[in-house]
Each structure stands twice: as structure tokens, then as C-alpha cells.
């Protein structure tokens, strides 16, 4: 086989296949290559650049010994796929379920996660979105400290484990989205510097150096990340990618990296004959992100909707929730998409955003996600009583809903921030770095130490909770809401101009009208008789949902979905 590596500023590049180092020769501009007929699937190797090393391959497909070990040749063609009838899944009308492989099950593997797919099928979600799976320091991490971006975390099951999981999802009718991080690399095990100018050397965000997307030699850097995206979609049969914090991508070129990526992915979708989805996490509140004449992303996360729902059902108003504390913010979020669409943001102390004008399915909304739970010091979730209201708002909205693992049954387990850095300086300073990151958020930062094993273990879902009545009743509420959403075209209609909302009794309750379908929501969590209009026929309410083991003192429903007849 032929080994190739990009190292445009090196004078010598060598490879070690286990029997001593041999030189690579210049190939196409900036690239080095050597033929090694004896190498093949399963061969371990490392690179040496200008006499320094050993280093893993920047495009390593497998790191069996972790981020500090050698690369291993991996042949994608050796895996036998069984999803031959899979035609893909369109984001429109879909519900996403976000999960972290390491904490979704006690085992924390792809195989164990595949064993829970029947639960997701019964819940009737359409996509599974898995948090990043690139190799990370140690054995536990959220995934955003990833390096060796072409490889798959061996702790989870490695490349074959991911393929087996995707194959199982497709056979179960579920699409799979993967969270990828292109705005920075992790602080440990990043060996890109010796090979070339992948990074700018300047602080691009709080999390690390900026990726070189527009400087000298950036053509190949962009190609590195675009080829990575193509690999996941083509070789792992994934149905889309969630792009982490794209506002931290620094690119001043005429054609932005995201625009170029969208074009490549669209071409791949045409070749594969199935839809491929790109979802951007962006805090810019700029519809240019999803405009086909703009960056061309399929959708973007809408934190405004999360903040508005969270503030309405929890009453929290610290930090960025201050801009969403009034019920009017919830009305605007549900009918306009963005709350900050050019007006003043007190958290940022400036104006922010532009009006959203596209179809609502291009905004992914949530009541909970890994960020909004895990970035709380104690990783605490909403209570079951709060979740039934939040679910009523989210799952009847015109946006693309996303649930976070365990939300559907009101999981009591937290989702904490955890790491497993091997360098003492990184391990010992992680808690303090985390505290500094959230200065100004209004939290009294009393968080468990990220590097403690207990922090990780506490974050694993407890599936035995489903045996308890109050958890099962909330799960039934989520199932009923999703089923109703799929049954009523009004609830998936993405035309924001057709949505109407009104507040009643000084903000105690909210009524949303979508065509002939209405949704009434009690925002004060008090016993209120729903003021339904004449001719309303109730389709679904949460009267039978238990708020918790202590029971629910309410005497009436907090969410009612009804149809206007006559």
C-alpha cells in the first residue's frame, strides 16, 4: 500500500512500520509518499518529521492504543453492511434524540447503545445525534477535546463499533447524526503542529487555537476538514453532521468554509442518492447560516427557543436567561424563531441577531441538551413537572425538536462535565478553567471535579427508573406528543407566519394556534381551568402524567392540545 502525508514545510519525513524508519519522498506539492507492499489492514505505523517523533498519522483511521499510540491501517472495505435498503431520512418533520455514547448505557459502548434502539423506536424519534466520537485523552470525555479526527474512540468500540451501531440504527428506521468539532482540537495529544500549519497559533476561542482556514497553506487545511466530513457520511453511512460552535470558525475568504463544505456534501448526497444533513451550532442568530444562497446549512441550533422555554417553566432569570424572563419572549420565540433578531441583548451588552425568515424546520429547538444541562455546575435537569410543560411547548412547535437522552422519562441522573486528562497540569487545572469559562453566567460555581471518576459515573443514565410509575407516565406523555405531532400536519407546518400566540391573565397561560389546532399551556404551574374556545375538542392533555413520587397537587392539566370544529 501507499502511505501519504501532508507536511509542506518539512525537509524529511519518515515512517516506522515496526521494523525501522524509512524515508518518504516528495509527491504532489506539499505531500510525501512511500510504497510499502508488506503493509495492510492491521499494520501499525508512526511518522517522524525532521527527525522528531514518533507521531500518529494526521489522517489516522484507527488509534488502538489511544492518542499517544501508533496509528493502525484500517480498510473500510472489510466491513459488511446490512443497510442496503436505507434511503436516508429528511430532517423536515423529524424529531432528533441527542445522546452521549459513554453515559447512555452502563457499559458506555456502541454495542450497548444499539441494545436500546427499541426504546427510541417506540418513542418514535427519527434521528439519533451522537456527541463526538474522535479519540480523546483518557477513557472518558464529552468528546470536544478530540484529536486524530478521522479515528473513532476505542473505548466506545472503535470504527467497526460505530459502523455496527449505524447499521443497527438504519435497520431500525433511525437516521444517525454525528457531532463533529472543526473549530479547535483538544489540548492533549494534538500532533498536527509538526506536520503543517493546521492551526494559526492564535487563540481562536476559549477552547484553543484557531484552525487555519484562510491563511497560507490553508487550502490543504480546509481539505483536511472537508475530507473528514465526507468520510463520516460516505464510509460510515452517517446521515448528517452537527457542526460544533461554527461561530468560532475564523475564515475571511470570499467563499466561507461552511459554504464550501455544504457544496461538497450536497454533491455527495447526489452521488449516494440519499439526503445528507448539516446542522450548525451558531450563536450568531443569523439566517444567512441556513439560507441556500448563504452558507447553505440544512439547519442551525436555536438557543433562543431553549432559553425562552427554560425561563418560562423554571422561572430562572440569571445570566443569559435575563433576556427571556418575560413571557413575551416565549411568544416571540414560538412565532418568530429568534428572540434576539436585531434588538438589544443585555447579556452581551449590545444588539444581536437578524430576523429569521426561513421555514421553521431549519431551526433545531430543545428544552434540554448536553450544553444547557452540562454547563450547569451540578449538571441538573428539569423536574418531571417542568418537563411535561416544556415538552408540550417544544413538541407542538413548528421547529425541529431535539430531546436529550433521558429527558423523555425525567431522568434524575445529572449530566456533569467530565474529563480524564493524563497530564497532571491539565487534570489538576480543569476545574478552575471550567469555573473561569462561566464567569458572568450568574452561577455560584460549585461543581464536582471533572477528572474524578465519580463525576463520570454519576452522569450515566439509570434505566431502572423506567420501572417507576412517575417516570413511565412522563415517557407516555412524550410518546403521545410525538405521535400527535406526526399525525397532525398543522404541528409540523414550518410556516412561522401561520403561528399565532397569546398570553392570558397577565402571563399565567399561553395559547398557541396553528390552523385549526390549538395548544394551551399553564405557565404558572398552578391549577387553572383551561379557557378553551367554543367548539374545541380535546385531543391530548397531561392530566394522567404524574409529576413525581410525591404526587402532583394539581387538579387540572398544564398542557391541552385541541382541535377547533364547526
**Catalytic-labelled residue, pool 129, 244, 283, 420:** 244
Are 110 and 157 a contacting pair, CB within 8 Å?
yes
**CB count in 10 Å sphere of residue 261:** 24
* CA-based nearest residue to 397, from 342, 355, 336, 354: 336
Q: How far is CA 67 from the centre of its chain?
A: 23
54 upstream amide cis, omega within 30 of 0:
yes
Q: Which three cell numbers stand for residue 280?
A: 450548525
The β-bridge relationship of strands 240-243 and 208-211 is: unpaired
Are 302 and 284 a contacting pair, CB within 8 Å?
no
Are 242 and 129 a contacting pair, CB within 8 Å?
yes
Count of H helices and E strands in the chain?
Answer: 14, 25
Q: Is 125 exposed, middle or buried (0-12, 13-18, 19+ CB in 10 A)?
A: buried
Per-residue CA distances from 563 to 437, 513, 535 (Å): 47, 10, 8
The partner residues of 538 in beta bridges, in order of sequence, read 562
**Catalytic-labelled residue, pool 251, 281, 286, 542:** 281
244 is catalytic: yes
281 is catalytic: yes
φ, ψ dihedrals at 97, nearest 5°:
-125, 110
Annotated catalytic residues are 244, 281
Amino acid at each position: 500500500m501507499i502511505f501519504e502525508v501532508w507536511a509542506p514545510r518539512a525537509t524529511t519525513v519518515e515512517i516506522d512500520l515496526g521494523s525501522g524508519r524509512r524515508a518518504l519522498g516528495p509527491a504532489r506539492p506539499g505531500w510525501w509518499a512511500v510504497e510499502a507492499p508488506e503493509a495492510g489492514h492491521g499494520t501499525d505505523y508512526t511518522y517522524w518529521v525532521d527527525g522528531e517523533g514518533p507521531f500518529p498519522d494526521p489522517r489516522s483511521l484507527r488509534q488502538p492504543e489511544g492518542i499517544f499510540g501508533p496509528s493502525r491501517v484500517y480498510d473500510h472495505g472489510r466491513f459488511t453492511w446490512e443497510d442496503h435498503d436505507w434511503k436516508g431520512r429528511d430532517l423536515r418533520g423529524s424529531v432528533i434524540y441527542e445522546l452521549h455514547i459513554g453515559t447512555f448505557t452502563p457499559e458506555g459502548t456502541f454495542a450497548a447503545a444499539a441494545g436500546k434502539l427499541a426504546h427510541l423506536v417506540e418513542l418514535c424519534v427519527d434521528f439519533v445525534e451522537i456527541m463526538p466520537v474522535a479519540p480523546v485523552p483518557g477513557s472518558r470525555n464529552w468528546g470536544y477535546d478530540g484529536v486524530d479526527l478521522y479515528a473513532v474512540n476505542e473505548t466506545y468500540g472503535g470504527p467497526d463499533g460505530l459502523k455496527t451501531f449505524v447499521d443497527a440504527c438504519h435497520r431500525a428506521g433511525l437516521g444517525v447524526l454525528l457531532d463533529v468539532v472543526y473549530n479547535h482540537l483538544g489540548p492533549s495529544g494534538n500532533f498536527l503542529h509538526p506536520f503543517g500549519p493546521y492551526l494559526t497559533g492564535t487563540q481562536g476561542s476559549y477552547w484553543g487555537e484557531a484552525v487555519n482556514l484562510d491563511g497560507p497553506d490553508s487550502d490543504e487545511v480546509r481539505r483536511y476538514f472537508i475530507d473528514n466530513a465526507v468520510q463520516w457520511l460516505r464510509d460510515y453511512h452517517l446521515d448528517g453532521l452537527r457542526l460544533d460552535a461554527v461561530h468560532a470558525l475564523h475564515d475571511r475568504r470570499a467563499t466561507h468554509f461552511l459554504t464550501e463544505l455544504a457544496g461538497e456534501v450536497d454533491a455527495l448526497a447526489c452521488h449516494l442518492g440519499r439526503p445528507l444533513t448539516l446542522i450548525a451550532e451558531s450563536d450568531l442568530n443569523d439566517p444567512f447560516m441556513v439560507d441556500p444562497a448563504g452558507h447553505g446549512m440544512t439547519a442551525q441550533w436555536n438557543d433562543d427557543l431553549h432559553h425562552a422555554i427554560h425561563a418560562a417553566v423554571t422561572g430562572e432569570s440569571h445570566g443569559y436567561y435575563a433576556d427571556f424572563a418575560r413571557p413575551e419572549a416565549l411568544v416571540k420565540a414560538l412565532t418568530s424563531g429568534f428572540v434576539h433578531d436585531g434588538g438589544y441583548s443585555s447579556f452581551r451588552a449590545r444588539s444581536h441577531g437578524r430576523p429569521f425568515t426561513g421555514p421553521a424546520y431549519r431551526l433545531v429547538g430543545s428544552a434540554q441538551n448536553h450544553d444547557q444541562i452540562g454547563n450547569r455546575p451540578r449538571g441538573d435537569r428539569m423536574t418531571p413537572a417542568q418537563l411535561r410543560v416544556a415538552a408540550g411547548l417544544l413538541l407542538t412547535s413548528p421547529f425541529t425538536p431535539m430531546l436529550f437522552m433521558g429527558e423523555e422519562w425525567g431522568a434524575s441522573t445529572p449530566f456533569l462535565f467530565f474529563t480524564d486528562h493524563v497530564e497532571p497540569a491539565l487534570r489538576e487545572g480543569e476545574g478552575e478553567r471550567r469555573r473561569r469559562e462561566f464567569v458572568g453566567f450568574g452561577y455560584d460555581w460549585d461543581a464536582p471535579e471533572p477528572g474524578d471518576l465519580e463525576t463520570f459515573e454519576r452522569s450515566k443514565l439509570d434505566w431502572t427508573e423506567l420501572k417507576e410509575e412517575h417516570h413511565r407516565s412522563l415517557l407516555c406523555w412524550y410518546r403521545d406528543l410525538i405521535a400527535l405531532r406526526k399525525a397532525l400536519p398543522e404541528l409540523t407546518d414550518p410556516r412561522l407566519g401561520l403561528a399565532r400566540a397569546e398570553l392570558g391573565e397577565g402571563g399565567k397561560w399561553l395559547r398557541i394556534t396553528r390552523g385549526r389546532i390549538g395548544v394551551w399551556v399553564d405557565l404558572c404551574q398552578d391549577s387553572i381551568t383551561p379557557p378553551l374556545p367554543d367548539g374545541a375538542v380535546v385531543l391530548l392533555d397531561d392530566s394522567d402524567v404524574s409529576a413525581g413520587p410525591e404526587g402532583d397537587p394539581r387538579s387540572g392539566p398544564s398542557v391541552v392540545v385541541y382541535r377547533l370544529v364547526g
